[in-house]
Amino acid sequence: MLSGSVLEKVNAKMLPFQPAVGIDAAPEFVMEFVMTQLGLTLALSIIASRLSNEKEFIIYRANMIDSL
């Protein structure tokens, strides 16, 4: 069990991250937000990469057909 002074120090350090629901939810709230943003960024980058590769393939295929 943490002593009172240690808890006060932890609470003082977590104060900037405190959401409206209370300090107990702060670490989970911050991590959930960060992970959601990272997940969305990763998903969008994968989609963009696949669309880019597909577009390049279609252009390559069209050029091959034109050369025939």
Residue 19 in this model has a pLDDT that exceeds 70? no
Residue 15 CB-half CA count within 13 A: 6
Token pair 């969008």 in the structure block, residue: 44
49 C-beta neighbours (distance < 10 Å), count: 10
pTM as predicted: 0.41
Tens-place pLDDT, residues 27-50: 777 778 888 888 888 888 888 888
pLDDT of residue 64: 80
Mean pLDDT score, 41-63: 83
